[in-house]
Amino acid sequence: MALAVIALILVAYLHSQNVGIALLNESANMTTATLLASNRMVALETGETPSLDEREGVFEEDLYAAFRWKERFLATPFQDLLEARVEVSWDDNRGRRSVELVSLLVRK
């Protein structure tokens, strides 16, 4: 009986550790993707005025090889404003995940 209780506790403990590691990995990926998207958005805000198109690519650093970025620019009802969307995505064991930032840019 004692061995069965110990086995049950051990299985529950291992499961909780697996869940904890998965949540830690998800949190790290979400934080990394948010920071990468923020960096791309800052580059858009400080660069030349983009055209209304869509661009995508990968990050050059090996550390971020699992992440992809996509930039979209949409017209707004206001002539001098563009809506900028930066999406950073990655694949994990639950499929494709992504973070998207949205900002308004003034045409230069």
DSSP assignment of 64-94 equals GTT-EEEEEEEE-SSTTEEEEEEEEEEEETT
Number of domains in the chain: 1
Q: What is the pLDDT of residues 84-105, one digit of tens each?
A: 999 999 998 788 999 999 999 8
Q: Over pLDDT 70: what percentage of the chain?
A: 95
Q: What is the pLDDT of residues 21-34, one digit of tens each?
A: 988 999 999 999 99
Tokens 């590691």 belong to 21
Range of the domain at 53: 2-106
pLDDT of residue 67: 96
Backbone angles phi, psi at 54, to 5 degrees: -125, 135
pLDDT of residue 50: 66
Task: Look up the CATH number of the domain holding residue 98.
Answer: 3.30.1300.30
pLDDT of residue 80: 86
